[in-house]
Structure 1
Amino acid sequence: MKILKPLTKNMFRDIAKSKGRFIAIILIIMLGVLIFVGVKAAGPSLNDSLNTTVTDKKLSDVQLISTTGFTQKDLNLAEKVSGAKAERVKYKQVVGSKSHVAMALYGYKKTNKQNQLIIRSGHLPSKSNEIILDQVAKTKYGYKLGDKFSFDKSADLKSRTYKIVGFASSPQYIDNESRGASNVGDGTVRMFAYIYDKQMNLPFATQLNVRFDKLQSKNTFSDSYKDAVDHKVKKLKTAFKGRAKERSDSLVGDNLKTLDQQQKQLNDAKGQLMLASSAGTDVSEQLMTLNSQQTQLTVGYDKLHKQTKTSYTWQTREDLPGFSAYGESSDRIAAIANVFPVFFFLIAALITFTTITRMIEEARGQIGTFKALGYTKWEIAKNYFYYALTAGLIGTLLGAVIGNESLPRIVLALYKQYIPLTWDVKFQWMIVLIALIFALLATVGAAMIVVRRELSEGPAALMRPKAPKSAKKILLERIKPLWNHLSFNRKVSYRNLFRFKSRMFMTIIGIAGGTALILTGFGIQNSIGASGNRQYGEIFDYQAVVRLSNNNSTKALKVLNDNDQYRSSTKVSATTGKVKANGEQVDDVNFYTPESANFDKYIHLKDSKTDQKLKLKDNQVVLTEKMAKILKVKAGDMISIKTASGKGGEIKVSAVTQNFISHFMYLNKDTYKELFGTAPKTNTLLVNLKSQTNGQRNSLANKLLKHGGVMGTSYTYDQESTIAKMTSSLMPIVLIFILLSGVLSFVVLYNLTNINVSERIRELSTIKVLGFYNNEVTMYIVRENIILTILGIIVGYGVGNLLTAYILNQASTALVIFPLTISTFGYIVATVLMIVFTVIVMLITHQKLKGIDMIGALKSNE
């Protein structure tokens, strides 16, 4: 142990003497690991936190809604499926509040355990005249505890006014705003509410919630959970097979018996009249009366069966409002985490490798001395390994702990558009292990390579400075007219740049990497926002889609013409179906068939490659870009089309049009008739409106629903708001990327400049002795940094675009294309930050060079 003591002392002395470099290595490793582990942990933490929340609040796995309600028999049927626990709840959509908005109203019962509310303030109803409202009723509509809340008469409740005793969030509505579609009000549910079960005039519960305890150990976003739920839904559907008809028949009951009795009497009367007629009696008037009675009886039968026809709507968690969007949001972060942090960490590792290499190369004299004193290669080498290992472990430990414990929590705290989550941030051991391996490769790996190379030389060679490379002419020197016009200082700078190529490339890579990462941060946010801006700015030039209930637009157009915000509209036939090609299939495709030639004023069809305007050709269709990519088709290829009703066939693709959100297929009326065997029916209006407030949008949608003969109205504003929320949800990640990328760039530039100065200390002392002023000595070094910074920024522009494009491709969904978009502001910020860092490093370097010990440097061992 005693023989190792001088080496150990020397290692600690080296650390103390070069604290800046040791700390820089730790910082670079720490930043790389921090962003790698932190961003990698953000996606799983989002999913785990929501999973913990919905598990705690006992969110049902399956929800079944019936048009005729559920009885105890239905509950028993559901619970026959292994592990199922079922609850019945009264539920219906009503209109209420001062704004007369559509609401999801639930009946509250103390015995119900599933879908427990998250109380934000107040308490659950304890009296029949009390109500607990959605938190948005407070934040968006201004209601307070103790206020009165009224429902429209159409809600059909025991009372129309209730006292507000609480505000809550619900695991059924994890997004603070998204509440789903409605068949009342303006067509969109704006809030939910709970009142006492008996206050609702419903003879039966209309919703059946089913939960499986064994599934709660699975993460709700995992494929394992989704497959298990799909299996349970199949089992439930099997259990309910034939139940709809049985339920309908049981509800018909005595009414059907009465009608059957009347039919029998009618048939008997007809028989008697026919006998009288055959005997020569005129029974024409009596037959007319019986025919009239038969018509009324037939209407009675139809009305009875329509009113009591049972149909079921099956839902899983994926179908709940906001649930899929949340999952896609965490998936996008996970996709970003598969690229951005890896690139970040590679830059950090590369710079660390260079720093360790330079440090050991500078210690050639010490290595030679120890070798001459008789120390073995391992005894000499392991101290440098310990140095590298210590820096790598400290950096990894700090980065892993800070990254894993801070970034996911920051993201969770800023996900304010979702319900309050129970944070569940697990330590990502596997990710930390991967980061540790990379960190040790960059530190210990570099030490092993360089020490092994240095120790291969003899002590005498090691104790002498490494022979400088032979001077060679650089390319600029061969261009005489340009070279001869350069000043002496510039000639020196250019020669030094090409003389130390490895340092030049390292600096360019460091600056380019930092610039690229900052641009990528802006690019991710800009591009996601651009999908909505371009869809509803360049392609769709309308503000509302009105769905007609009877293929007649007369009433709807009358309501629209009476509205001050209305400008114009066009009629289209809109239906949905699926498209197949090359073994791939895209479901939920919107088929649009325009009725008039002014369609191109509302939807601009442009070739996705040439940007040229497209026209709808006979016996051909136009597909949107994302769908064409999934199906692997292009203009001229054949595709197979089928509507929800089973009609369709094969047809040729005439072109692929630009589109960023959802799937659309466009065809003219003749093509529609040829393909589907029937003429298209106008069932939709694309409406151009002036700028509207939320109140004006709600009011128009209400009027159209009540008086316009429409099924519902959807506004592009709502889709744009969804895209805006998607963009804002990534803002925390983007800001973290930009901040840490900036810090990394600064540390890299500072570290490489320090290496440059330490390597050339004798050269700098020499020119200072020759009479160079302090500013000139500084510029001797900084001039090279400025050139390399400019080159790094330019290279970073290109790398940033490539990196952003790759991440966007990874983060895209089946319905959305994110167009590569990086704002001018992003370029300005990235450029200014790099310039600022260069200036700061220049000032630090200037102070350091002013204090150079010229005599000591020039007296150093030859």
Structure 2
Amino acid sequence: MNPLDRKLLRDLWRIKGQAAAIGAVIAVGVLLLVMMTGLVRSLDETRQAYYERYRLAEVFAPVTRAPENVIGDLPAIPGVAATEGRVAGYALVDLDSVDLPIQARIVSLPDFEAPRLNDIFLIAGRRLDPANRDEILLLKSFADAHDIRPGDALRVTIRGAQRAFSVVGLVQAPEFLYVTAPGELAPDDERYAVIWMSRATAGAAFDMEGAFNEALLSLTRDAREPAVLEAVDRILEPYGGLGAYGREDHLSDRYVSEEINGLRATSAIIPPLFLAVAAFLLYIVISRMVQAEREQIGLMKAFGYTDLEVGAHYFKLILFIAVSGAILGCLAGIAAGRAMVVLYLQFYKFPFLLFELRSSSFVLGILVSVCAASAGGLLVLRRVFALTPAVAMRPPAPADYSRTGGVVRKLTRILDQPGRMVVRRVTRQPALMGGAVLGIGAGMALAAAMTSVMSGFDRTIDVNFNVIDRSDLTVSFTDPKSDKTILELQRLPGVIEVEPVRNVSAVLRNGLRTHRGAVEGRIATPRLNRAVTSEMDAIDMREEGVILSTSLADKLQIRPGETLTVEVREGRQPVLELPVFGTTESLLGSPAYMQIDALNRALREPDRVSGAALRIDSARSDEIYRTLKDMPAVASVSLKDETRESLQELMDSGAGAMRYVMAGIAFVITFGIVYNSARIAQAERERDLASLRVLGFTKGEAAFVLLGELAVVMFVALPVGALLGYALSFGIAAGFSSDLYQIPATFGRSDFGTAVLAVLAASVASGWLVKRDVDRLELVSALKARE
């Protein structure tokens, strides 16, 4: 081992605390990078493999009722590889243990062969026997939620007729990775079922013998999807085609894609922040080390070491810290990724999900960390190359403190001697103090931004369920009913208030930008389910146009005063040209509102409702639930409290859970920055502190000179961190937002207070560690060191 390498080991041991803190910052950045890229790859590749193995359709074409022979016309469309027709619809499941009706999706399977498209994955039991029309298959997650096993009986109501079926198998399917009832955003395994039955059974139940109401298509590699969709709509239009759509608009795939895209966006923003902080810390540590070792650098060059060899010595120090932190981050990233996979496997209905990483992920993590560290270190190494032996071995020119003399003289009148020493240090080295302020401010900003995002998640739920939605439950009907149905609901004992709604499936279009969703009809002055402004003031519905959520308006790039094209996908399927007269703050989904009477007139279906929001007497809730369960017109009942719990679980899972991970990491980073600042100040002033002890200062007074400087820097960093955190919270909140929910960038006093407490806690812990070393300082050794 050559002398420079032995010096490298001694230097690493001497700054082991600072090196460990910087390495931890690098490890955190690499951990997030490895974990997120691994999760993106695992989710994306597992999804694609699942889709391909079970042949998930690429085009879905719902239709009112089409003869079976029409399915034979679809393969002639250029780009279509395979087709299949099936019967699908909605039903109700009646369980004795549940007071409310449970909505179910019915899907048919071919009688005598495996489906060409949208096959199923059998988990338990067996497949259907075509000779027995009373057998069904059940989605495993729903069966597990209610402890249903193969062989159990299940009562199902289809089009008003109840029938008992035998569950013969539990299955999963690629088209039901994300399972939620129509009109709801958050999945709840207890309140929504998926049932597969034979084609003959489903055809008889839905009056579809010899017909189908949904066509499935797969495409060739060179297919042009827009042209295929147009051709399919043209063929199915005479039979009540409801508009074909691609896989990206399928609810399940859409939300899985949102999750993957959110992880991908987060991995591109968050890890670089940590690595940038690490580069900044390395710059400070190495620059001050070079400044302190000027004479040693001069001696090394005088003894014949070249500029390259001396520079490589310090660069090795940088590489050792960076590579060690990166390796630790890779290992921790694997462990964190495997833990997150367990959450995703519980939330999304994958039959399997393994956390897999390519070697390129490790190479990328190490390479990025080394590049970030090198960026901070190379700026310092320029000074090493610039130093000649003669210049390096001379003490640096004394600094000019004349400009700060007036300030110091004024403060000396009210400060004692240790206080004056702190002020001189702070005022005479503004650049160094400014760097420390920025470092601590950056750590505080990250902590403040993450606590702000957590507050934003909570605000999303609070605003939606306490300000926007003030109902107790929502009732959906099997199909649009006369508004007299609302009178029947109002007459139920215990019902306090009823507010009708009309939801119409539609494609909203502005030029080339489209959104597949719904137009929601509301009364002129809603009370139970409102549209609100950014100030949370209620917005009244108007007859002449629509109100769009801000997220939907941004997606369609449309503003108030412009015209929106609404292609209705039910009934007569009119195409409406409606002006946009306002926007509303909606933190869940992307709704479009319209006055219910105006919507019915546009559809030429007066006095129709598709559901209602109810406010009820909680003392009579059980009686109301039983009554609603027996009403044939009711398709589903959604309780606000249960929906809130489901959404909270959704936000605490998957990418939502990542906010807790990064919040904890942000606090660790804050400690690392504060600790490094304290250690650097201690290393620079070790001789001064020993001199003070020799002159008669107590251990506490000597420590005050050092820790007082840290306290000043910390308090100056607080407003800086608050400003940086406020700006950073917008970017992080945007990264967590999706079509499912929008996270507002809130930065309140509690967020600022939490970040301040983190900085104070980090400062106290760092101060205690530094004071302990100051108390143990060897005076003779410290005084022998030359300036």
- Which one of 139, 143, 149 corresponds to residue 148 of structure 2? 143
1:497-527 CA distances to partner (integer Å, 9 max, x unpaired)? Answer: 2333344333333332233223333333432
Superposition deviation, residue 548 in structure 1:
9.3
In structure 2, what is the Cα distance between the partners aligned to 1:680 and 1:593?
A: 14
Identity, % of aligned pairs?
17
1:654-697 CA distances to partner (integer Å, 9 max, x unpaired)? Answer: x544433423345697x889x96989745366533237799878
- Compared with structure 1, are the counterparts of its residues 212 and 570 closer, same or farther at alpha carbon in structure 2 (3 Å cutoff)? closer
Gaps of 5+ in 2: 185-189
Residue 730 of structure 2 corresponds to residue 727 of structure 1: no
- Compared with structure 1, are the counterparts of its residues 534 and 668 closer, same or farther at alpha carbon in structure 2 (3 Å cutoff)? same
Letter of the 1:10 counterpart: K
Letter of the 1:554 counterpart: K
- Compared with structure 1, are the counterparts of its residues 678 and 593 closer, same or farther at alpha carbon in structure 2 (3 Å cutoff)? farther
In structure 2, what is the Cα distance between the partners aligned to 1:79 and 1:642?
A: 30
- Compared with structure 1, are the counterparts of its residues 391 and 79 closer, same or farther at alpha carbon in structure 2 (3 Å cutoff)? farther
Question: Highest CA radius of gyration, 1 or 2?
Answer: 1
- Which one of 256, 269, 291 corresponds to residue 339 of structure 1? 269
Task: Give the 3-state SS of the residue equivalent to 2:284 in structure 1.
Answer: helix
Residue 573 of structure 2 corresponds to residue 663 of structure 1: no
Asked whether the equivalents of residues 255 and 740 of structure 2 are also in contact (C-alpha less than 8 Å), the reply is: no
1:729-777 CA distances to partner (integer Å, 9 max, x unpaired)? Answer: 2343112202222222222222222221111111111111122222332
Asked whether the equivalents of residues 623 and 666 of structure 1 are also in contact (C-alpha less than 8 Å), the reply is: no
Residue 322 of structure 2 corresponds to residue 392 of structure 1: yes
- Which one of 145, 160, 172 corresponds to residue 175 of structure 2? 172
Structure 2 matches for 1:557-706, cutoff 5 A? 557-564=487-494, 566-571=495-500, 588=517, 590=519, 592=521, 594=523, 599-602=525-528, 604=530, 606-608=532-534, 624-629=549-554, 637-639=561-563, 644=568, 646=574, 653=581, 656-661=583-588, 662-666=590-594, 681=607, 683=609, 686-690=612-616, 699=626, 701-706=628-633
Task: Give the 3-state SS of the residue equivalent to 1:771 in structure 2.
Answer: coil
- Compared with structure 1, are the counterparts of its residues 658 and 154 closer, same or farther at alpha carbon in structure 2 (3 Å cutoff)? closer
In structure 2, what is the Cα distance between the partners aligned to 1:233 and 1:66?
A: 13
Structure 2 matches for 1:322-361, cutoff 5 A? 322-361=252-291
- Compared with structure 1, are the counterparts of its residues 690 and 634 closer, same or farther at alpha carbon in structure 2 (3 Å cutoff)? same
- Report what 1:52 is aligned to: 49
- Report what 1:750 is aligned to: 675
In structure 2, what is the Cα distance between the partners aligned to 1:429 and 1:475?
A: 58
Task: Give the 3-state SS of the residue equivalent to 1:803 in structure 2.
Answer: helix
- Compared with structure 1, are the counterparts of its residues 15 and 697 closer, same or farther at alpha carbon in structure 2 (3 Å cutoff)? farther
Superposition deviation, residue 112 in structure 1:
0.8
In structure 2, what is the Cα distance between the partners aligned to 1:422 and 1:191?
A: 21
Structure 2 matches for 1:77-476, cutoff 5 A? 77-78=74-75, 84-87=81-84, 91-99=88-96, 101-105=102-106, 106-107=108-109, 111-112=113-114, 114-124=117-127, 128=132, 131-152=136-157, 160-162=164-166, 164-175=167-178, 177-180=179-182, 190-195=192-197, 202=204, 203-204=209-210, 206=212, 210=216, 212=218, 229-230=225-226, 232-234=228-230, 241=235, 311=241, 314=244, 316-400=246-330, 402-403=332-333, 405-415=334-344, 416-420=346-350, 422-423=352-353, 425=355, 427=357, 436=366, 438-472=368-402, 474=404
In structure 1, what is the Cα distance between the partners aligned to 2:559 and 2:705?
A: 58
- Compared with structure 1, are the counterparts of its residues 475 and 523 closer, same or farther at alpha carbon in structure 2 (3 Å cutoff)? farther
Asked whether the equivalents of residues 707 and 767 of structure 2 are also in contact (C-alpha less than 8 Å), the reply is: yes
In structure 1, what is the Cα distance between the partners aligned to 2:505 and 2:118?
A: 33
Residue 31 of structure 2 corresponds to residue 29 of structure 1: no
Task: Give the 3-state SS of the residue equivalent to 1:449 in structure 2.
Answer: helix
- Compared with structure 1, are the counterparts of its residues 548 and 118 closer, same or farther at alpha carbon in structure 2 (3 Å cutoff)? closer
RMSD after superposition? 4.3
TM-score between the two structures when normalised by the length of structure 1: 0.76
Superposition deviation, residue 397 in structure 1:
3.9
Structure 2 matches for 1:505-584, cutoff 5 A? 505-542=434-471, 543-544=473-474, 552-564=482-494, 566-571=495-500
- Report what 2:187 is aligned to: none
Asked whether the equivalents of residues 53 and 422 of structure 1 are also in contact (C-alpha less than 8 Å), the reply is: no
Asked whether the equivalents of residues 761 and 857 of structure 1 are also in contact (C-alpha less than 8 Å), the reply is: yes
In structure 2, what is the Cα distance between the partners aligned to 1:493 and 1:237?
A: 78
Superposition deviation, residue 612 in structure 1:
5.7
In structure 1, what is the Cα distance between the partners aligned to 2:91 and 2:595?
A: 38
Task: Give the 3-state SS of the residue equivalent to 1:167 in structure 2.
Answer: strand
- Compared with structure 1, are the counterparts of its residues 770 and 550 closer, same or farther at alpha carbon in structure 2 (3 Å cutoff)? closer
- Compared with structure 1, are the counterparts of its residues 70 and 826 closer, same or farther at alpha carbon in structure 2 (3 Å cutoff)? farther
1:254-295 CA distances to partner (integer Å, 9 max, x unpaired)? Answer: xxxxxxxxxxxxxxxxxxxxxxxxxxxxxxxxxxxxxxxxxx
In structure 2, what is the Cα distance between the partners aligned to 1:37 and 1:59?
A: 30
1:456-515 CA distances to partner (integer Å, 9 max, x unpaired)? Answer: 2332331244345233464993694x6533333223223222333344333333332233
Asked whether the equivalents of residues 559 and 704 of structure 1 are also in contact (C-alpha less than 8 Å), the reply is: no
Residue 59 of structure 2 corresponds to residue 62 of structure 1: yes
Task: Give the 3-state SS of the residue equivalent to 2:743 in structure 1.
Answer: coil
1:72-99 CA distances to partner (integer Å, 9 max, x unpaired)? Answer: 7735853876572445556554444425
Superposition deviation, residue 43 in structure 1:
3.5
Task: Give the 3-state SS of the residue equivalent to 1:322 in structure 2.
Answer: helix
- Report what 2:8 is aligned to: 11
Superposition deviation, residue 32 in structure 1:
2.5
Asked whether the equivalents of residues 571 and 594 of structure 1 are also in contact (C-alpha less than 8 Å), the reply is: yes
Aligned residues: 761
Of stretches 425-434 and 112-121 in structure 1, the one that deviates more from structure 2 is 425-434
In structure 2, what is the Cα distance between the partners aligned to 1:574 and 1:640?
A: 17
Task: Give the 3-state SS of the residue equivalent to 2:176 in structure 1.
Answer: coil
Asked whether the equivalents of residues 137 and 191 of structure 1 are also in contact (C-alpha less than 8 Å), the reply is: yes
Superposition deviation, residue 313 in structure 1:
6.6
Asked whether the equivalents of residues 42 and 407 of structure 1 are also in contact (C-alpha less than 8 Å), the reply is: no
In structure 2, what is the Cα distance between the partners aligned to 1:399 and 1:626?
A: 36
In structure 2, what is the Cα distance between the partners aligned to 1:555 and 1:461?
A: 94
In structure 2, what is the Cα distance between the partners aligned to 1:400 and 1:502?
A: 35
- Compared with structure 1, are the counterparts of its residues 57 and 522 closer, same or farther at alpha carbon in structure 2 (3 Å cutoff)? farther
1:790-845 CA distances to partner (integer Å, 9 max, x unpaired)? Answer: 44344333322321212323444467543223576655543333333222222221
Of stretches 742-751 and 35-44 in structure 1, the one that deviates more from structure 2 is 35-44
1:109-145 CA distances to partner (integer Å, 9 max, x unpaired)? Answer: 5731544444444554579475542223433223245
Superposition deviation, residue 358 in structure 1:
2.1
- Compared with structure 1, are the counterparts of its residues 555 and 479 closer, same or farther at alpha carbon in structure 2 (3 Å cutoff)? farther
In structure 2, what is the Cα distance between the partners aligned to 1:795 and 1:501?
A: 15
- Which one of 814, 830, 836 corresponds to residue 755 of structure 2? 830
In structure 2, what is the Cα distance between the partners aligned to 1:198 and 1:640?
A: 42
In structure 1, what is the Cα distance between the partners aligned to 2:21 and 2:325?
A: 10
Superposition deviation, residue 727 in structure 1:
1.4
In structure 1, what is the Cα distance between the partners aligned to 2:201 and 2:414?
A: 93
In structure 2, what is the Cα distance between the partners aligned to 1:740 and 1:431?
A: 21
Task: Give the 3-state SS of the residue equivalent to 1:495 in structure 2.
Answer: helix
In structure 1, what is the Cα distance between the partners aligned to 2:126 and 2:438?
A: 59
- Compared with structure 1, are the counterparts of its residues 108 and 604 closer, same or farther at alpha carbon in structure 2 (3 Å cutoff)? closer
Task: Give the 3-state SS of the residue equivalent to 1:160 in structure 2.
Answer: strand
- Compared with structure 1, are the counterparts of its residues 700 and 39 closer, same or farther at alpha carbon in structure 2 (3 Å cutoff)? farther
